[in-house]
Amino acid sequence: MPFSRYDRTAVMGILNVTPDSFFDGGRYQGVEAAVARALAIAEEGAHILDIGAQSTRPGAIPLTAEEEWARLEPVLTALRGRLDIPLSVDTFFPFVAERAIACGVTVLNDVSGSMDNGFPALAAKHGVSLVMMARDAASAQDIRAYFESAISEADNAHLPLSSLCLDIGIGFHRDRETDMDAVRHLPDILNGLPKTAVLCGASRKRVIAHAARSDDPDRLAGTLALHTAAQLRGATVLRVHDVKEAVQAAAVIDTFMNKKEF
């Protein structure tokens, strides 16, 4: 599933099959609830469905690869053949990635920031796409350096750049100001790099509350604002919880920027 198939901004809908994710943990733990939400995400207009079985919120208890797969497998099995949009799995375990691909997954969303887990070669071997995330950065320059390394690793693994997506890592940096700088300085981060898809995933994260100076738990409006800023600066994939609203907002900005229809 090359990311180059999208002429307009792609919305990646989030499905967490976890008990402890920061926003929707526990809502879609059962297979029936997870499948219903997956179908709803597609109906709301998402272009990619991203399924995660391990919470990455601060303080979450990490799962083993076997535990993560035990959560994912029944949901992927139940969804097989029922969706017309690509399936993505949020994992950093090669064990999970191999089995997910066998269940029809065509995008691997690796949030580890690692250059050593073999994901570019694994994605190239199976002809699937890969998201690689810059994380633990202290500056926009750190994010740029990670992107350069990720592109090099993909090239060394013979993974086409059309199958690579670079994630700016919102929520995974050293502080919220670095999160904001990842969006603010995105044109500088990307300047001169080979063209790839670029992902921003700020949906309802702490950076929204930080920027708004508000403890309001409803962070939808702030999410749309920051994603719009990222889209105007070069982001081409938006990872979201609120799919319907994100699809509408992204379409308006794409039209404003005179991007083509799908």
Of the candidates 204, 244, 258, which has an alpha carbon nearest to the alpha carbon of residue 226?
Answer: 204
Candidate list 144, 205, 219, 233, residue with the active-site label = 205
Write out the H or E segment, with its range, that includes residue 257.
none
How many CB atoms neighbour CB 33 within 10 A?
Answer: 14
Instruction: Write the burial class of residue 216 (CB in 10 Å: 0-12 exposed, 13-18 middle, 19+ buried).
Output: exposed
Q: How far apart are CA 77 and CA 93, in angstroms?
A: 19
C-beta of residue 15 within 8 angstroms of C-beta of residue 52: yes
Q: How far apart are CA 146 and CA 152, in angstroms?
A: 10
Q: How far apart are CA 95 and CA 86, in angstroms?
A: 20
Our answer to whether residue 239 is catalytic in this structure is yes
Q: How far apart are CA 153 and CA 148, in angstroms?
A: 9
| Region class of 188: left (phi > 0), else alpha (psi between -120 and 50), else beta | alpha
Candidate list 239, 244, 259, 260, residue with the active-site label = 239
List the catalytic residues: 205, 239
